[in-house]
Amino acid sequence: MKLKDIAYTAAGMVAAFILSSLMGSISPTLILSFNLLSVVVLYAAVRKGEIYGAVTGMLCGLLQDSFSIGVFGVAGIAKTLAGYTAGSVAQRINLAPFSRRYSFFSLVLFLELAVWAFLYAAIFSRRIYTAGGLIFLQPFLTALVAVGIGPLVKRVSLFLEKRRKT
C-alpha cells in the first residue's frame, strides 16, 4: 500500500463528505437517495482488495456515524462489511462490463443497507425512516454514481501522473 493510495482515498472521503453535506443542504431527500461515502468504499475495495476496502469502509462509516443522530458504529459496521465483501468478490469476477459492475455494486450496497437497517432497528427498537420507500432506491442510485465515477477517476489519475512526470 502506497502513501499515494491513502492520500487519494482520504481526498475521496473528504470530497464525498463535502458533496453529501451540500446535497443535504439542497434537499434532505438527496441524502436518502445517494450515499457518496459508499462510492468511496466500493472504489477503494475494487481497486485495492478486501482489507483496504474494509478499512476504508470502517473509516467512512465512522465518519458518517459521527455526523448522524444514531448510534456510533452502525454505519461503520455496515460499510466495513460492504468494503470487505466488495474487495473480496471483485478479485474473483470480471467487473469490466457496465451491467455486471452495476449489478455487483447494487447488490453490495443493498446488503450494506440491509445490515445498517437491521442494526438500527435492533438497537433503537423502531423502524427506519424510509421517506416513502425512497431509501430503498439508494443502493441502485448510488451504484449508478459508482459506475459512472470510474472513468472520471481514471482521467484524474492520468492527469496527475502526467503532471508529476513534467
Break the chain into its structural domains and give their ranges: 3-165
* pLDDT confidence of residue 159: 84
Cell, residue 16: 464525498
Q: Return the higher-pLDDT residue of 160 and 140.
A: 140
What is the pLDDT of the chain when averaged over all its residues?
A: 91
Cβ within 8 Å of residue 88, ≥6 positions away: 49, 50, 53
Rounded to whole angstroms, the Cα distance separating 149 from 81 reads: 22
Residue 115, CA distances (Å) to 73, 118, 133, 166 in order: 12, 5, 17, 47
Q: How many CB atoms lie within 10 A of CB 74?
A: 22
pTM across the whole model: 0.89
* pLDDT confidence of residue 71: 75
Place of cell 438527496: 30
Rounded to whole angstroms, the Cα distance separating 22 from 97 reads: 31
